[in-house]
Amino acid sequence: MRSFYAPAQATHAPQRELHNGGFTAYAEVPARAAAILAAIGGAEAPRDHGVAPIAAVHDPAYLDFLRDAPALWAAAGRSGDAIPYAFPIVGRRPLALSRIDALLGAHAFDATTPLTPDSWTASYGSAQSALAATHAVLGGERAAFALCRPPGHHAGRDYCGGYCHLNTAAIAAQAARDAGIAKVAILDIDYHHGTGTQDIFWARGDVLYASVHADPATDYPFYWGHADERGEDEGEGATLNRPLPHGTRLDAFRAAQGELLEAIAGFGAGLLVVSFGADTWEGDPISDFALTTANYQVLARDIAGLGLPTVVAMEGGYAVEALGANVASFLSGF
Ligand code: Q9C
Ligand code: ZN
């Protein structure tokens, strides 16, 4: 399978993250990409498709923010990574503030996504990998893999969060729409619900968002991904959520994914984007599902059974020692 990765994606390397009330080492490390590359035998560098397909999903002011925030942070006399600590909760009036802390809070839904001077370049490369995989599939490849790191599915139109800055799956789906594919489906099987992807396509009927994930009653991101969230307006019924409990194994995961695959088949999608996270693995350090390495091939075979041109976009997976084997197992199912 053709795979895509830009070397600049390795440059984003925050020092630490706020985790359960204290600072811990940042889990979303560059070594994740190196482990995957080693297991799949390398990847092609993506062609540069420019900023336009990114701006088709994200607000221009947010893209400016991602580029400028680290310099504003340094100009405010701060050392280290830029981290927000105050947020405009729902109901506050929109204010155009320029103080770096106000900008950070206005463009993030959590405090676990530090920005470094390299975050923009790395995430831009991650988005280009998603676009290259999408164009490979549009050009006739049965499936292609975008080694997106930093990941993307928590990033919304104008906010970052959950280690994500640019929503690579959404950028891929939108690029397929803009290339003339009338309906696109996104299947998200990362351990965490894809907050940003759901928000981006919430009121749209042309892109189906379907996710299996840990129940947000117990797990991050808490405020998104409950079973009764089904989209609105044109998008009513085009968001599908299947929250599952801690300890979930292949049988229950596969059954939930199977329901979503049936819905995707009925939707009439011309292209599928899979947000694939290996943080559902039994040994993941920040997650609580119990899939095995071999299980990923089974899940991928079920997905491949749809017969749709498929873009696989990497999301989470934090057990670096097993990540390469887990990704290779999944890709082997195609
Ligand atoms: N105490 C992705 O997998 N931290 N993002 C959770 C739990 C954020 C995961 C903290 C997890 C984000 C792409
Ligand atoms: Zn995840």
The model's pLDDT over 126-143, given as tens digits with 9 standing for 90+, comes to: 999 999 999 999 999 999
286 alpha carbon – ligand 2 mean position (Å): 9
Which pLDDT score is estimated for 88?
A: 87
Rounded-to-integer distance, Cα 6 and Cα 125, Å = 5
Token look-up 């999608």 returns 269
Per the CB < 8 A criterion, the answer to whether 155 and 169 are in contact is no
Residue 90 has pLDDT above 80, yes or no: no
Q: Which of 275, 280, 304, 274 is nearest to 292 (CA)?
A: 280
Q: Which of 154, 165, 193, 213 is catalytic?
A: 154
In this structure, which residues have their CB less than 5 angstroms from ion ligand 2? Answer: 190-192, 277, 279, 316
Residue 20, ligand 1, Cβ within 6 A:
yes
- Ligand 1 atom at shortest distance from the alpha carbon of 191: 3
Band the pLDDT of 91: cuts 50, 70, 90. confident
What's the predicted TM-score (pTM) here? 0.98
Per the CB < 8 A criterion, the answer to whether 159 and 57 are in contact is no
Band the pLDDT of 94: cuts 50, 70, 90. confident
Which pLDDT score is estimated for 213?
A: 99
Q: What are the start-end ranges of the H helices in 41-184?
A: 52-55, 60-75, 100-106, 119-138, 168-178
Query: Looking at residues 214-242, what average pLDDT do you find?
Result: 98
Rounded-to-integer distance, Cα 38 and Cα 97, Å = 45
169 alpha carbon – ligand 2 mean position (Å): 14
**Protein residue with its CA nearest to atom 11 in ligand 1:** 162
Would you call 11 exposed, middle or buried from its count of C-beta atoms within 10 A (0-12, 13-18, 19+)?
middle
For residue 307, the tally of other CB atoms under 10 A from its CB is: 9
Residue 292 has pLDDT above 80, yes or no: yes
Mean pLDDT for the chain overall? 97
Report pLDDT digits (tens) over 157-179. Answer: 999 999 999 999 999 999 999 99
